[in-house]
Amino acid sequence: MTNERIAVIGGGNMARSLIGGLIGDGYDKSRLWVSDPDAQRLGQLADHFGVHTTHSNGEAVQNADTIILAVKPQAMRDVAEQLREHLDITRHLVISIAAGIRMQALEMWMGETLPIVRAMPNTPALVQSGATVLVANPMVSKAQRDAAETVLRSVGLVLWVVDETQMDSITALSGCGPAYFFLVMECLDNAAQKLGLPARLTRLLTLHTAFGAAKLALESEEDSATLRARVTSPGGATEQAIKVLQQANLQSLFDEALRAAQQRSMELADQLGRNDG
């Protein structure tokens, strides 16, 4: 993908993360363009990364082969419709990282025959530790799939699905997921302080315990249930804590939480993609 020219529409945090990840992977910064209406933001991106910047989305697109739409979902329709006249179906690949914007809506706004990849990254992409799921429309070629994967792999794990309807469930799991873990860490931190431990100590122990557990799980071939059983000695302190959580029906709470997130994701996609106004 070293010869591909990339335009990033929108210069926010996720765009900054992708730019940093690509350059960190050795991508030629001279082949990167960023457009954004905020002059200060563009100046910071140019100073920090040495990329081309412009206030004109059209100019950025004309200088690119791959276009990353990194604008807020509420602004996507306006941006997409404005870009339509600048897009070339024989050359351009569009990658959308906007949550809740379905490919059907993007096709309606930009062109039904345009190659489009929809991506669902999560916020750990900001530290190159994200998990992103991709889905492509039928116009995307094998080379374009590889290009999309290369872009998102610069900020973490990349997985593909065939069925776009799964994206609402994926949003509920990995898109919203970091907040679930932050909440668990918050609760552990607060509970430990109630046991008399100082705040600085509880924070560091909570964070490193979470990091260590995730690293251990990533490097193991065992599933989570097996790993939990291995650190839960019969009659021990861990077993007593696990019993309390299971008696409170923790699994049922997560079932309900993910269903609620999935349903809300579907509702937002319906609202953002409707053809009116």
Whether 129 and 47 map to the same domain: the answer is yes
Dihedral pair phi/psi, residue 35, rounded to 5°: -120, 145
**pLDDT of res. 275:** 62
Whether 106 and 135 map to the same domain: the answer is yes
Q: What letters, b where the CB count within 10 A reaches 16 and e where it falls short, cover 33-42?
A: bbbbeeeebb
Token representation of residue 149: 């994967």
Whether 145 and 251 map to the same domain: the answer is no
Whether 186 and 143 map to the same domain: the answer is no
Whether 182 and 154 map to the same domain: the answer is no
Query: Which residues constitute the domain of residue 112?
Result: 6-162
Summarize the confidence of residues 97-107 as an average pLDDT. Answer: 95
Among 132, 162, 192, the domain boundary falls at 162
Asked if the model's pLDDT at residue 105 lies above 70, the reply is yes
On whether residue 47 sits in a domain, the answer given is yes
**pLDDT of res. 277:** 47
Whether 22 and 147 map to the same domain: the answer is yes
Torsion of CA 116, 117, 121, 125, to 10 degrees: -90
Angstrom distances, CA of residue 198 to CA of 186, 202, 204, 207, 237: 14, 6, 10, 14, 21
Domain count, the chain: 2
Asked if the model's pLDDT at residue 259 lies above 80, the reply is yes
> Which CATH number fits the domain that encloses residue 81?
3.40.50.720
The count of other CB atoms within 10 Å of the CB of residue 163 is 7
Asked if the model's pLDDT at residue 267 lies above 50, the reply is yes
Token representation of residue 94: 């569009």
Amino acid at 25: D
The answer for residues whose C-beta is within 8 angstroms of residue 236's C-beta and 6 or more apart is none
**pLDDT of res. 176:** 97
CA 102 from chain center: how many Å?
Answer: 15
pLDDT digits (tens, 9 = 90+) for 1-56: 557 899 999 999 999 999 999 999 999 999 999 999 999 999 999 999 999 999 99
pLDDT digits (tens, 9 = 90+) for 170-228: 999 999 999 999 999 999 999 999 999 999 999 999 999 999 999 999 999 999 999 99
pLDDT band, residue 276 (cuts 50/70/90): low
pLDDT digits (tens, 9 = 90+) for 116-165: 999 999 999 999 999 999 999 999 999 999 999 999 999 999 999 999 99
> Which CATH number fits the domain that encloses residue 209?
1.10.3730.10
On whether residue 134 sits in a domain, the answer given is yes
Whether 87 and 39 map to the same domain: the answer is yes
Among 129, 162, 195, the domain boundary falls at 162
